[in-house]
A = this chain, B = another copy of it.
Amino acid sequence: MARFEGALARASARHGRVPATQAEVISRVCQCARFDIAALAREGRAGTLAIPFVKALTAQVAAASADAARHVHAGATSQDVIDSAAALCLKAACARVDELAVRLGDAAAALARRHAQTPTAARTLLQPALPVPFGWKAAMWLSPLCRSLFALRRAAGEACVVQFGGPSGTLSAFGGEAEKISAALGEELDLPASLVPWHSARDGFARLGAELAILAGVAGKIGRDVALLMQPEIGEAAEAPAPGRGGSSSMPHKRNPALSMLALEAAQRAPGLAATLLGQLTPEHERGLGQWQSQWFTLRELVCSTASGVAAMADALDGLEVNDHAMRRNLESFLKGQPLEAAGAASAMIDQALAGWASARESAASRPQ
């Protein structure tokens, strides 16, 4: 929030709406301002966190320069600072989720390559079906992850934009400079600017929420399969042991699918959170009652859930113990003499999924920083 106010002062100064020296004071104070978080939270209940925040910031600026203090938050509205701050936090959070998703995809791709010829049973409705390569199974994990990575980057890029409209949304305080200051604010924050504000258009956050839930689901699906394969009666794959991981407080010998659990946990928590955002698309008029005031609660839970699930499965696949003997033994017991090798297009499918992943990864390099 302080970053927003500092950037606003600098952007306004660049176009003559705030004297340069005063903007400098505001900007400097914003960089080192400290807040009594509990007090802000308490006072924020009276309406919006922005009001006590701006008051506290203004007091700190006033301690440096009474003249500068008059320009704090000038022309902006509470929602501008709340939404822009959420966008700044989300941009960083999504970049982290992106890194984790790349790690997960790389690990799945490595399994797809390494086990392109390792026969295992496909299982449909939890019943063994025909043989497939275990690498093909990993490629099937990878394929939706390619789509998710593309879509998450797009959704994050579209959702993490400056909110800037002022009291009624038209930037009425900025006269002819409105467009230029809006653009300058984006530059100062290193965040895309949108001349058209999105005070009552919450589709960007809803779409990002859905993509985070989808990615949590993609990781959860891998967790589902790993946990099922790790049943000792099947025993075809296992999360690698690590100190303290997967233990039981009552049965220390047990080896639990602790990472898969984290991914399944996230996949169960994300849809309801995403649904909250999908249900908040109809605010009243130019600023609604109850959407922007709390969507950052929901987005925080959602992005943390997704990150947790994706990180867990990246770790799980990185260290996955694949028991090709158990795969072969189980297959033979079902197939009773039929060939173990997968017929059909398994190899071409693996190649296509790997090519898709290379392309999804590449899209990372070109994404806006």
Contacts and interface: CB of A to CB of B under 8 A. Distances in A.
Interface stretch (A11-19, A83-91, A103-111, A294-302): A294-302
A345 B174 contact: yes
Q: How many copies does the complex hold?
A: 4
Interface string A253-281: 01111101111111111111111101111
Interface residues of A, number: 142
A250 interface: yes
Contacts of A260: 289
Given A233-B234, A254-B129, A345 B171 contact: yes
Given A122-B168, A132-B286, A196 B250 contact: no
A77 B250 contact: yes
A151 to B, nearest CB: 7
A178 B76 CA distance: 55
Interface of A: 43, 45-48, 50-52, 54, 73, 75-78, 81, 122-132, 136-137, 139-140, 143-144, 147-148, 151, 158, 166-175, 178-179, 182, 195-198, 200-204, 206-207, 210-211, 213-214, 216-218, 220-221, 223-225, 227-228, 230-234, 242, 244-251, 254-258, 260-276, 278-291, 293-294, 297-298, 301, 308, 330, 334, 342-346, 348-349, 352-353, 356
